[in-house]
Structure 1
Amino acid sequence: MPESAAFRDDRAHVFHSWSAQRALAPAVVAGGEGAWFWDEAGRRYLDFSSQLVNLNLGHQHPTVVRAIQEQAATLCTVAPTFANPARSEAARLIAEIAPGDLRHVFFTNGGTEANEHAVRMARHTTGRHKILAAYRSYHGATTGSITLTGDPRRWPNEPAMPGVVRFFGPYAYRSAFHASSEEQEGERALAHLEEVFTLEGAHTIAAVILEPVVGTNGILVPPDGYLRGVRELCDRHGVLLIADEVMSGFGRCGEWFAVDRWGVVPDLITFAKGVNSGYVPLGGVVLGPRVYETFAQAPYPGGLTYSGHPLACAAAVAAITVMRDEQVNATVRRLGEEVVRPRLAKLQERHPSVGEVRGLGLFWAIELVRDRDTREMLVPYNASGAAAAPMAEVAAACKERGLWPFTHFNRVHVVPPCVTSAEDLALGLDILDDALDAADRYYTGV
């Protein structure tokens, strides 16, 4: 097929994120509906990536599209100094579903800005400067949030924001604490974090930022009791807890926010992605009373031209309403337990390269290994080029069969739209089953 104008113009003028520019040959996406999208040649793909794990309501949900169209016909934009019905209603709805006493919303354009502002709020509120962040984490790509980020994308951007201190979160399959059970992993991870508090000086720590369920860096579901233990540790020392729910929130884990599963109330929640399925860029910070009161009489030293953009907020209002009316959270919990979990368990039985499967809701990881006994990763940590070829083969096998996967390091993540049908889920898992034969060819264990 000859190159299209869209492809030629992209290669001539678009500078892509996280990429070596001349190595790219991006597919030109022409349209989408629900859990599917198609390229300009008409080839259809089942979207098991939700684009970038943000398309929770799928492509072109008619209610959300209509809300954007109606808002555009009424008022396209307004400065953040004004009140606006779309912004006000979006804030009210988010406050209603937020846990505990988090009742105020500061809007941003996305998750990275939300984390930047949450850190700024925490430092002003506490008068302290250190922020504790996990090694296995992703918090965004602006100067502050890439410093918070634990994964290797941080390395070429250093040095950046001062005051960030690392800790290990729980990851039982590759335990940094030599734990022999999930319960022990949680206990030892909490003991480690408490020691970090001691060695850093708890009186210097403004906040702990964490993903309640780690996203891109492994879909790591914490052991029961871990998040509550972090909350108690923070309370003991006057430290704020920031929950980065950019990826895990708005239905992805079968809850409005992943922290709801464990009944934990953070001081700040950051969100983006699923709040309106990414139809128009939107993120934000939900503030608890301690942070809000800091700025009740003193100005907050931060803002954004597009804070609470009406088109984005109208999309959020529609998305939250759809999730409520269609009981999306309950459906996601059911699909996760009744369809995804048992099917992934069977994949693990059938494919020796599957070392572990883990997740909840529609937020799952398949960890691929060369040897189950040693747990050697299918490809090395942060592999690229020839070293990453086995994972590239798995991804190519998925795409050849009409499935668009999400891969990271040695993992395939199962993160389809939250409105994916049970039939499409089963189809996608069947395709994954076939594609994993490519990983099995590299297996060296017994």
Structure 2
Amino acid sequence: MSENLEDLDDIARRLDREHVFHSWSAQAQSSGLVVASGRGARVWDHAGREYLDFSSQLVNVNIGHQHPSVVAAIREQAELLTTIAPSTVNLARGEAAKRIVARAPAGFRKVFFTNGGADANENAVRMARLHTGRDKVLSTYRSYHGNTGAAIVATGDWRRVPNEFARGHVHFFGPYLYRSEFWAATPEEESERALRHLSRVIESEGPASIAAVLLETIPGTAGILVPPPGYLAGVRALCDRHGIMLILDEVMAGFGRTGRWFAFDGYEVRPDLITFAKGVNSGYVPAGGVIISDEIAATFDERVFPGGLTYSGHPLAMASIVATLDAMSAEGIVEHAREIGVESIGPALEELAERHQVIGEVRGEGVFWALELVADRKTREPLAAVAMARIKTALVAGGLLPFIQDNRIHVVPPCVVTADDVAEAIAVYDDVLSSVALGD
């Protein structure tokens, strides 16, 4: 029987290699890890080889793999109605929207559903432009907002450069004290100087030409860059001064990832538009959306909103959202994410940093952390790509699915991760970083 299961892994790899075109990849690269199923914070291949998932796949499986309530809700909805046009009224869609706005600040009563985070940002930008009558959108260089037209150009990292086809995008530097662009020595200095920089960019671009500032509340793929005190409130003040809309991208940081329902709940800031995806239903069915402030929603009361998607508010996705948010609430999953971050993940990573000189900085909250790896702590030279590749290979060999980005290990398990899971993962990180330090 085990030989047959091994054969399934081989078949999966062959079919993938022959027929699947992968994102962000040179296609001659070998196929990745086979994943056949999962439960909670673990996945396994057809032969039963098990891995502790400390990537949450793409930082989206917040409720864990195969949560029975969510699986059951999708199955029940599939038996009732599998799909319906977005122009129709559907109970599941209304229930999903009701639960989402219940977690948003006062003054948000409408949700526009999309297929994921990229088109959520795309449509938020469209709404801001139409509402203000302005064109430009400001976003940071250290950011990722998705792979559609405006979203990829709003993105700041290397993926923007081959895709710069959308108009009206301007980039600026956000706060990142460990590698400060502003010669700051404290979080307070970093915040003040980053805000001054943004203010000058706004002045130089012409405030009356700027529709929106688009920010990840906590930049995720760019490094889990927790904003310093006062920064987000300062951005809000700049936007208010100039009539600019503030869009907060909560695609990765939202719905429990930081130990809060929304990451911005911890920063005394109220956006005009909120984008979400990933954690809202842990990616069980593709879904995302824009939570719209009443002021912006009113713009389209008598004016047609020129946007739409065939699968906006898809019933299977809506059922999975309802079940996910209900389960997260009933089971205290968001509170658990906060506690496990404070009591287990954070302290364990700090202890790991004390043992390994290769760790330059630990930062994060909830189940949203990064280890920044360096060749030298004094110079903060990033650890080389070849070493990072060795680390990734060794972590997988040790039974851990990592999230590796540039010179960082992102420690991003599902919100349901246990203290025992954390201890197991830390032991693997410890062993692998010891080997790398020794040059093995």
Residue 96 (structure 1) aligns with = 102
- Structure 2 counterparts to residues 42-81 of structure 1, below 5 A: 42-81=48-87
- Structure 2 gaps, min length 5: 1-5
1:425 shift after superposition: 1.2
Residue 418 (structure 1) aligns with = 415
Residue 261 (structure 2) aligns with = 256
The CA distance in 2 between the partners of 1:26 and 1:202, in whole Å, is 46
> 1:22 aligned to 2:28?
yes
1:396 shift after superposition: 1.2
- Structure 1 gaps, min length 5: 380-387
Equivalent of 2:370, from 365, 373, 376? 365
Deviation string, structure 1 residues 376-415 (Cα, Å, up to 9, x no partner) = 0002xxxxxxxx2100111111111101100000000000
Q: Contact 1:343 / 1:429 at 8 angstroms: preserved in 2?
A: yes
Distance 1:442-1:376 versus aligned 2 partners, 3 A rule: farther
The CA distance in 2 between the partners of 1:101 and 1:187, in whole Å, is 29
Q: Contact 2:16 / 2:31 at 8 angstroms: preserved in 1?
A: no
- Structure 2 counterparts to residues 219-368 of structure 1, below 5 A: 219-368=224-373
**Larger deviation, residues 433-442 vs 19-28:** 433-442
The CA distance in 2 between the partners of 1:355 and 1:130, in whole Å, is 36
Residue 382 (structure 1) aligns with = none
Q: Contact 1:390 / 1:438 at 8 angstroms: preserved in 2?
A: no
DSSP-derived class of the 1:139 partner: coil
Q: Contact 1:368 / 1:439 at 8 angstroms: preserved in 2?
A: no
Residue 396 (structure 1) aligns with = 393
Deviation string, structure 1 residues 390-443 (Cα, Å, up to 9, x no partner) = 001111111111011000000000000000111111111111111112442469
User: What is the letter of the counterpart of residue 319 of structure 1?
Assistant: T
The CA distance in 1 between the partners of 2:436 and 2:112, in whole Å, is 44
DSSP-derived class of the 1:22 partner: coil
1:120 shift after superposition: 0.4
The CA distance in 1 between the partners of 2:264 and 2:390, in whole Å, is 36
> 1:174 aligned to 2:179?
yes
Residue 405 (structure 1) aligns with = 402
The CA distance in 2 between the partners of 1:181 and 1:378, in whole Å, is 24
Equivalent of 1:118, from 107, 121, 124? 124
TM-score normalised to structure 1 length:
0.96
The CA distance in 2 between the partners of 1:34 and 1:99, in whole Å, is 30
The CA distance in 1 between the partners of 2:174 and 2:372, in whole Å, is 18
Residue 3 (structure 2) aligns with = none
TM-score normalised to structure 2 length:
0.97
State the identity %: 58
1:183 shift after superposition: 1.0
Residue 127 (structure 1) aligns with = 133
Q: Contact 1:30 / 1:40 at 8 angstroms: preserved in 2?
A: yes
Deviation string, structure 1 residues 263-321 (Cα, Å, up to 9, x no partner) = 31100000000000000000000000221011011010000000000000000000000
Q: Contact 1:172 / 1:185 at 8 angstroms: preserved in 2?
A: yes
Deviation string, structure 1 residues 178-234 (Cα, Å, up to 9, x no partner) = 000011101111111111111111111000000010100100000121111111110
Deviation string, structure 1 residues 118-142 (Cα, Å, up to 9, x no partner) = 0000000000000001000000011
Residue 87 (structure 1) aligns with = 93
Residue 195 (structure 2) aligns with = 190
Q: Contact 2:143 / 2:156 at 8 angstroms: preserved in 1?
A: yes
1:353 shift after superposition: 0.5
The CA distance in 1 between the partners of 2:169 and 2:436, in whole Å, is 37
Deviation string, structure 1 residues 351-373 (Cα, Å, up to 9, x no partner) = 01100000000000000001111
The CA distance in 2 between the partners of 1:317 and 1:76, in whole Å, is 16
Across the aligned residues of Structure 1 and Structure 2, the Cα RMSD in angstroms comes to 1.2
Residue 384 (structure 1) aligns with = none
The CA distance in 2 between the partners of 1:264 and 1:399, in whole Å, is 39
The CA distance in 1 between the partners of 2:438 and 2:32, in whole Å, is 28
DSSP-derived class of the 1:23 partner: coil
The CA distance in 1 between the partners of 2:63 and 2:350, in whole Å, is 26
The CA distance in 1 between the partners of 2:423 and 2:270, in whole Å, is 35
Q: Contact 1:243 / 1:268 at 8 angstroms: preserved in 2?
A: yes
DSSP-derived class of the 1:176 partner: coil
The CA distance in 2 between the partners of 1:115 and 1:63, in whole Å, is 29
The CA distance in 2 between the partners of 1:364 and 1:406, in whole Å, is 11
Q: Contact 1:244 / 1:271 at 8 angstroms: preserved in 2?
A: yes
**Larger deviation, residues 409-418 vs 391-400:** 391-400
